[in-house]
Amino acid sequence: MLNSATITANIPAGDLKRAREFYADKLGLTPSFEMEDMGTVFYKTAGGAIFTIYQTEYAGQAGHTIAQWHVDDVAAEVRELKQKGVTFEQYDLPGVQWQDNVASMEGMGKAAWFKDSEGNILCIDDGLPDQF
């Protein structure tokens, strides 16, 4: 049933205006559509990914990654985002090698984590494992 469906990430924001500015200024993303009366902003990337940012008092409370962007070159994306003022996180993970905020994980590729303006943990990685 769900196997043929698509899925969309929904990212919480305590302050929708602040979040919209972060996603525009730091990540270079432009909303595709906005439902102001519902406190929801819709995004569609050139790569076809769709996600929403919505107003809620519960933003930034998840202690885990809530969304990931799959990119060709994690290190290059990290450098570009750092130039725009994005701060990256490093976590104490077993078997992970870190270089310039980029984690290398055997069998999983490379990844880097950062928090958005609302405290949500986001990730950029170099795609899914070869098993997929």
CATH of the domain at 70: 3.10.180.10
For the beta carbon of residue 121, count every other beta carbon within 10 angstroms.
17
| Banded model confidence at residue 18, pLDDT cuts 50, 70, 90 | very high
Residue 8 lies in a domain: yes
**C-alpha closest to that of 9 among 43, 34, 47, 32:** 43
Q: What local confidence, expressed as pLDDT, does residue 105 receive?
A: 84
Q: What is the pLDDT of residues 31-64, one digit of tens each?
A: 999 898 899 999 999 988 899 999 999 999 999 9
**Is 131 part of any domain?**
no
Report helix, strand or coil for 24.
helix
30 and 19 Cβ atoms separated by less than 8 Å: no
Q: What global pTM score does this model have?
A: 0.90
Q: How many domains does the chain have?
A: 1
Nearest by Cα to 96 from 111, 85, 78, 84: 111
Decide if 54 contacts 15 (C-beta within 8 A).
no
Say what the pLDDT of residue 129 is.
59
pLDDT tens readout for residues 91-128: 998 889 999 999 998 778 899 999 999 999 999 999 86
Q: Is the pLDDT of residue 66 over 80?
A: yes
Coil/strand/helix, residue 50: strand
